[in-house]
Amino acid sequence: MCETDEENPKEVLCSCSGTTRGLIIELVKQGKDLEGISRYSGALSGCGGCEWEISELVNRLQAENSTPKA
Ligand code: FES
């Protein structure tokens, strides 16, 4: 995974809870699913406006994690 500006770990993806991309990446690494991430960070529990972006990120990270690295 490369860290372009788009992948900035300090970018806040959920402004209701202040959850950053980096925190979500960390929680996925710990094996948390979307619900666990929401419970832990408060993301997705406010306006719901971040739902699409966060679920997409989580799905992508989970797919990357389950793909064996060469
Ligand atoms: S921006 Fe995430 S719940 Fe509002």
Domain ranges, residue 58: 8-66
Q: Indicate which residue's Cα is closest to atom 1 of ligand 1.
A: 14
CA 16 to chain centre: 14
The tally of domains found in the chain comes to 1
Considering the entire predicted model, what is its pTM? 0.85
* Mean per-residue pLDDT of the chain: 91
pLDDT for residue 67 is more than 70: yes
Ligand 1, atom 4, lies closest to the CA of 47
Kindly tell me if the per-residue pLDDT of 5 is higher than 70.
no
23 in a domain, yes or no? yes
Q: In a mutational test of the pocket of ligand 1, which residue from 11, 15, 37 has the highest number of ligand atoms less than 8 Å from its CB?
A: 15
Question: What's the pLDDT at 7?
Answer: 83
> If you measure from the C-alpha of residue 41 to the centroid of ligand 1, how many angstroms do you get, rounded to a whole number?
11
Residue 2 lies in a domain: no
Residue 43 lies in a domain: yes
The CATH number of the domain holding residue 42 is: 1.10.10.1100
- How does 39-60 read in b/e, with b if 16+ C-beta sit within 10 Å? eebebbeeeeebeeebeebbee
Amino acid at 56: E
